[in-house]
């Protein structure tokens, strides 16, 4: 059973891939789910509100934050790309969101960070939240900024944040790398729920992964969150090995945790 502590939640990025997944599931967590994106979201269903907003527009962001109890922030530019759109959506947009949260007294945010904050660590390493960021591109850099921004707003204003360094969230793993990074949709919802309901969240970095036997990430510093994954990529491992070639160990995408992001981008 999902614990419901909030009357009204805001979900940004609700038109995106994971936003669509959480749009259905997060209604278990609240009485009313406010959905926002720059893209069309269709008509509001039962117990939904729809409010379109560009994250780069401070006034629009203020409007979507007003009146909510907590925020699940998935909105932004979600892949590697040119600096300008990432700047507007992920850096200025994150600042606008936290400023609006400060003004309206919102005290808890679940922030969709990314494993690409640490993408230049090697796949033969195991890291935890105490390891310094090693972004694998402009996108990862923007998420590292969001993590630092959220820490500032916790230290100065007491806004608690869980920074979810999401791995690879799909119905099933797509390649051998995802045997380590996979996060099922069910575990994604369990992770967000744990961050919304743990009694004391503070400022926490937690890696978003299922209970995979192979992993590069250690969540020992986030045990207070109470996240217990129930799914695992292990069920897909034999089929993945049978259907994919042996990896080229000289390929930077195979050497590093960020995969193809370490060699993707306009710079």
At residue 4, the pLDDT reads 83
Within-domain flag for 1: no
At residue 1, the pLDDT reads 59
* Residue of 220, 205, 207, 211 whose CA lies nearest to 184: 211
How much of the chain, in percent, has pLDDT values that exceed 70?
A: 99
Whether pLDDT at 75 is above 70: yes
Domain that holds residue 233: 6-263
Angstrom distance (rounded) from CA 77 to CA 56: 11
The values of phi and psi at residue 182, to 5°, are -65, 135
Whether pLDDT at 266 is above 70: no
Does the model's pTM come out above 0.85?
yes
Q: Which of 77, 98, 121, 139 is catalytic?
A: 139
139 is catalytic: yes
Residue 164: both structure tokens together:
């979810």
Within-domain flag for 40: yes
Within-domain flag for 157: yes
Residue 218: both structure tokens together:
């250690």
Within-domain flag for 38: yes
Average pLDDT, the chain: 96
Whether pLDDT at 116 is above 80: yes
Instruction: Specify whether the CB–CB gap between 263 and 127 falls below 8 A.
Output: no
Task: Give the tens place of pLDDT for each residue, 219-252.
Answer: 999 999 999 999 999 999 999 999 999 999 999 9
Task: Give the tens place of pLDDT for each residue, 27-47.
Answer: 999 999 999 999 999 999 999
Angstrom distance (rounded) from CA 137 to CA 39: 25
Average pLDDT (158-170) is: 98
CA separation, residue 157 to residues 96, 152, 163, 202 (Å): 15, 8, 17, 12
Within-domain flag for 73: yes
Q: Where residue 227 sits, what CATH number does that domain have?
A: 3.40.50.720
- Dihedral angle at the C-alpha atoms of 203, 229, 72, 151, nearest 10 degrees? 10
DSSP of 157-192, one letter per residue? H--EEEEEEE-B-SSS--SSTHHHHB--HHHHHHHH
Confidence band of 148 (pLDDT split at 50, 70, 90) = very high
Angstrom distance (rounded) from CA 85 to CA 156: 28
Whether pLDDT at 196 is above 80: yes
Whether pLDDT at 156 is above 80: yes
* Residue of 73, 255, 80, 62 whose CA lies nearest to 164: 73
Per the DSSP assignment, residues forming a β-bridge with 161 are: 109, 203
Confidence band of 77 (pLDDT split at 50, 70, 90) = very high
Residue 12: both structure tokens together:
């940004």
Whether pLDDT at 267 is above 70: no
Angstrom distance (rounded) from CA 207 to CA 169: 12
Per the DSSP assignment, residues forming a β-bridge with 162 are: 110, 204
Per the structure, the count of domains in the chain is 1
């Amino acid at each position: 059973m999902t614990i419901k502590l909030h009357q009204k939640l805001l979900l940004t990025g609700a038109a995106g891939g994971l936003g669509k997944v959480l749009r259905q599931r997060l209604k278990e967590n609240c009485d009313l789910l406010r959905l926002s994106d720059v893209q069309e979201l269709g008509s509001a269903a039962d117990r939904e509100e729809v409010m379109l907003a560009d994250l780069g527009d401070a006034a629009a962001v203020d409007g979507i934050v007003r009146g909510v109890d907590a925020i699940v922030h998935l909105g932004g530019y979600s892949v590697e790309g040119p600096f300008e759109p990432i700047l507007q959506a992920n850096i200025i947009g994150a600042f606008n969101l936290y400023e609006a949260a400060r003004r309206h007294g919102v005290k808890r945010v679940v922030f969709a960070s990314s494993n690409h904050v640490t993408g230049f660590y090697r796949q033969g390493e195991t890291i935890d939240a105490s390891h310094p960021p090693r972004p694998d591109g402009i996108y990862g850099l923007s998420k590292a900024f969001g993590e630092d921004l959220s820490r500032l707003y916790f230290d100065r204003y007491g806004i608690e944040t869980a920074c979810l360094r999401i791995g690879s969230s799909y119905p099933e793993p797509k390649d051998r790398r995802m045997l380590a990074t996979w996060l099922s949709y069910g575990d994604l919802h369990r992770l967000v729920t744990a961050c919304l309901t743990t009694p004391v969240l503070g400022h926490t970095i937690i890696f978003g992964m299922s209970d995979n036997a192979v992993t590069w990430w250690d969540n020992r510093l986030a045990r207070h969150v109470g996240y217990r994954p129930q799914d695992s990529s292990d069920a897909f491992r034999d089929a993945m090995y049978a259907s994919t070639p042996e990896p080229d160990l000289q390929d930077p995408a195979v050497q590093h945790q960020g995969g193809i992001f370490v060699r993707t981008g306009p710079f």
